[in-house]
Amino acid sequence: MDQETLGQVGGWVGGILGGVIGILGGVIGTYYALKRTQGPRERALVVRASIVCWMGVCLFALGMWFLPMPYKSALIGGYVVALLLAVRHWNRRQAAIRAAEANRGA
């Protein structure tokens, strides 16, 4: 096998393996996020947040695949900002739910 073919095979293997590892990481993260919930309201929030996050990741991946280069940079910036804001929002909501549940139980 010549160097060019070996490089192409390596690119395909790396891309597929990276995608599989990324999906497995997301599945494991979703599982443990659901497992660590402390009540039905918190579980409902985590389910909704997980669905929104998975949809966002899928849309981002499709955008990276189909959009031409100048738009990919804008997509990456928008994705990072949206992800940071969403995580902050979900963490605050989860903390509020836990505080309300603790006050109700005390």
Q: Report pLDDT digits (tens) over 56-100.
A: 999 999 999 999 999 999 999 999 999 999 999 999 999 999 999
pLDDT (0 to 100) of residue 11:
87
Q: Positive or negative CA dihedral for 103, 46, 77, 27?
A: positive
> Are residue 54 and residue 10 in the same domain, yes or no?
no
- Of the pLDDT bands very low, low, confident and very high (cuts 50, 70, 90), residue 106 is low
> Are residue 25 and residue 65 in the same domain, yes or no?
no
- Compute the distance between CA of residue 46 and CA of residue 43 in angstroms, rounded to an integer: 5
**Residue 2 backbone phi and psi in degrees, to 5:** -80, 170
> Are residue 78 and residue 56 in the same domain, yes or no?
yes
> Are residue 29 and residue 66 in the same domain, yes or no?
no
Q: How many domains does the chain have?
A: 2
Q: Over the chain, what is the mean pLDDT?
A: 94
Closest CA to 101 of 53, 45, 29, 48: 45
Domain that holds residue 45: 39-106
> Are residue 48 and residue 93 in the same domain, yes or no?
yes
What are the structure tokens assigned to 70, written together? 């100048």
pLDDT digits (tens, 9 = 90+) for 18-56: 999 999 999 999 999 999 999 999 999 999 999 999 999
> Are residue 28 and residue 44 in the same domain, yes or no?
no
> Are residue 22 and residue 51 in the same domain, yes or no?
no
> Are residue 44 and residue 17 in the same domain, yes or no?
no
Q: What is the mean pLDDT of residues 14-20?
A: 93
> Are residue 44 and residue 18 in the same domain, yes or no?
no
> Are residue 43 and residue 93 in the same domain, yes or no?
yes
What are the structure tokens assigned to 56, written together? 């966002």
- CB within 8 Å of 97: residues ≥ 6 apart: 39, 41, 42, 45
pLDDT (0 to 100) of residue 5:
84
> Are residue 18 and residue 45 in the same domain, yes or no?
no
> Are residue 48 and residue 83 in the same domain, yes or no?
yes
